[in-house]
Amino acid sequence: MSLVFAAEGPVIAQTEGEWDKIFPKSAKVDHKKVSFKNRYGIALVADLYLPKDHREQRLAAIAVGGPFGAVKEQSSGLYAQTMAERGFVTLAFDPSYTGESGGQPRHVASPDINTEDFSAAVDFLGLQPEVDRERIGIIGICGWGGMALNAAAVDKRIKAVVTSTMYDMSRVMSRGYNDRVTLEERTKTLEQLSQQRWKDAEKGEPELGPLFNVLKGGEPQFMVDYADYYKTPRGFHPRAINSNSSWTITNPLSFMNMPILTYIKEISPRPILFVHGEKAHSRYFSETAYEAAAKPKELLIVKEANHVDLYDQVKVIPFDRIGEFFTANLK
């Protein structure tokens, strides 16, 4: 299989049968690489997973995205393959400007375009002959948890949404962790980012920040946890920004001025399941989003789990509960 998007991103060449994921391939699932375009014309590359015994029936489907700065060969692919084992058609996609997906410049995120990426995944799933387009849900992991909620609020085709170890990227970029950034600090950051635009314009391309997850000593535990996933064989993937590169310096700009959970109440009456680790530094994102959301909603706290445990620890991630949630709500 070969996919080429030279005008938009890296050239991709993959032979049929090659397995480039960080998790083992399931014998219960058929897999193929696919591509489709979002509303902005950006080509997205994704992995489609189908239960081997799906026969001719139309199945419920789930699109999976995240974590922020990861690729589909990592957590989102693991979630997608595992949910396919439970009888769903699933799709793990690389967001615009990252991984194997198109878009220039590289290594940039957008509260608008990345929300659209979820809807484009729903577009694609709804055209598949194996899928019942009235039974489509989404899963957002880490920073894509907030994107999933934003997508579900605006896209009424999405019938149910699960977030796992969720971040609200617009909140953390504009207010810092635990909302500790002052107005003076925010203003200073925006002044620096605004000046960086001149530098990027003079250079003709955006400057990248320092490499992610490089430990120098003295970092908080959650940063050590990130490095333990992204920088070790446990989770490293060469295409992942968090493993091998960084975002553009000006990446926070649009997030700092566009809160993505403004319309979270409008997801109702469609259900939301928030999943978070008891010991995760990010737990407050799910707790406050849960409080802001309208019913039906559920907050599931996984005992003893930290933020990164919900990326790949299959004995910790409550896949059975997630499966039950989608089975009940994608009838």
Q: pLDDT tens, 77-126?
A: 999 999 999 999 999 999 999 999 999 999 999 999 999 999 999 999 99
DSSP label at 248? Answer: B
Residue 12: what pLDDT? 38
Residue 17: what pLDDT? 59
Mean pLDDT (whole number) for 157-170: 98
Above pLDDT 90, what percent of the chain?
93
- Residues with Cβ within 8 Å of residue 196, at least 6 apart in sequence: 207, 249, 250
The percent of the chain in helix, strand and coil, each rounded to the nearest 5, is 35, 20, 45
Cα–Cα distance for residue pair 120/143, rounded to 1 Å: 18
How many residues does this entry show for the chain?
A: 331
Question: CA-CA distances (angstroms) from residue 133 to 147, 156, 267?
Answer: 21, 12, 18
Q: Is residue 69 within 8 Å of residue 240, measured between CB atoms?
A: yes
pLDDT band at residue 6 using 50, 70 and 90 as cut-offs: very low
Q: Which single residue is written with the structure tokens 């490499």?
A: 211
pTM here is 0.94
- Under DSSP, is residue 112 helix (H, G, I), strand (E, B) or coil? helix
Mean pLDDT (whole number) for 255-267: 98
Nearest by Cα to 112 from 290, 253, 275, 294: 253
Handedness of CA 103, 107, 110, 116 (dihedral sign): positive
Above pLDDT 70, what percent of the chain?
95
Is the pLDDT score of 14 beyond 70? no
Residue 56: what pLDDT? 78
Is the pLDDT score of 13 beyond 70? no
